[in-house]
């Protein structure tokens, strides 16, 4: 009987392990069953925002798969729609692969990323493919030049650091398509503000 319970527990935990969690910055939410749902694993509204630095940011995940290919998209605006994420998918902010289960720290440096500016609301989407179907998580953030509340101690790798595949966190050449309508408005507002201050 004990053995049966143990076997059941192991089976259940290995099913859960076949997913991943976004541990930092705070995820919109995690649901084992809904994680395959685009764009954000079943959580369709923006939640609390974490300050996210434009330079040397990272995403901390816990992977249930032995290896995975990961794309990271950044969509600007207060509450991007599913369509905004789809257009972002063509030009990821970062593409990485991991080769071990457990804790991985995915670097995300947006300092040269088109449209990423101080005080911009954005949603960071992770599309994780561990060999079955893509799994989605999102974090709502405010991009800032200085992020005193961003906890750099959360970055941990149990194995080798994730390796970048292209474009590896640099600005994609066709980054224009990344910018959602909200983002365009935000960028334009910042520009107008800059002009006002210049006068």
Binding site for ligand NAG (CB under 6 A): 47-49, 78, 121
- Least spacing, CB of residue 196 vs ligand NAG, in Å: 16
- Least spacing, CB of residue 78 vs ligand NAG, in Å: 5
- Least spacing, CB of residue 198 vs ligand NAG, in Å: 20
Residue 57 contacts by C-beta under 8 Å, 6 or more apart in sequence? 107, 108, 109, 110, 147, 150
**Which CB sits closer to ligand NAG, 122 or 178?**
122
**Which CB sits closer to ligand NAG, 23 or 63?**
23
Evaluate whether 138 touches 40 at the Cβ level (below 8 Å).
yes
- Least spacing, CB of residue 46 vs ligand NAG, in Å: 6
**Which CB sits closer to ligand NAG, 78 or 177?**
78
- Least spacing, CB of residue 180 vs ligand NAG, in Å: 13
Taking Cα atoms as reference points, which of 165, 132, 139 lies closest to residue 59? 139
**Which CB sits closer to ligand NAG, 59 or 70?**
59
**Which CB sits closer to ligand NAG, 171 or 187?**
187
């Amino acid at each position: 009987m004990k053995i049966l319970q143990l076997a059941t527990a192991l089976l259940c935990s290995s099913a859960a392990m076949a997913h991943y969690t976004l541990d930092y910055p705070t995820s919109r939410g995690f649901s084992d069953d809904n994680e395959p749902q685009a764009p954000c694993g079943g959580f369709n509204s923006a939640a609390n925002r974490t300050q996210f630095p434009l330079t040397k940011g990272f995403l901390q995940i816990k992977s249930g798969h032995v290896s995975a290919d990961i794309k990271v998209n950044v969509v600007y605006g207060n509450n991007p729609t599913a369509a905004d994420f789809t257009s972002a998918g063509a030009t990821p902010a970062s593409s990485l692969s991991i080769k071990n289960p457990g804790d991985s720290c995915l670097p995300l440096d947006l300092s040269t990323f088109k449209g990423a500016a101080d005080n911009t609301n954005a949603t960071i989407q992770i599309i994780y493919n561990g060999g079955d179907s893509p799994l989605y998580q999102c974090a709502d953030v405010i991009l800032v030049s200085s992020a005193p509340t961003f906890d750099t101690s959360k970055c941990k790798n149990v194995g080798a650091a994730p390796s970048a595949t292209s474009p590896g966190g640099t600005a994609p050449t066709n980054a224009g398509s990344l910018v959602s309508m909200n983002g365009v408005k935000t960028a334009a507002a910042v520009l107008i503000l800059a002009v006002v201050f210049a006068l």
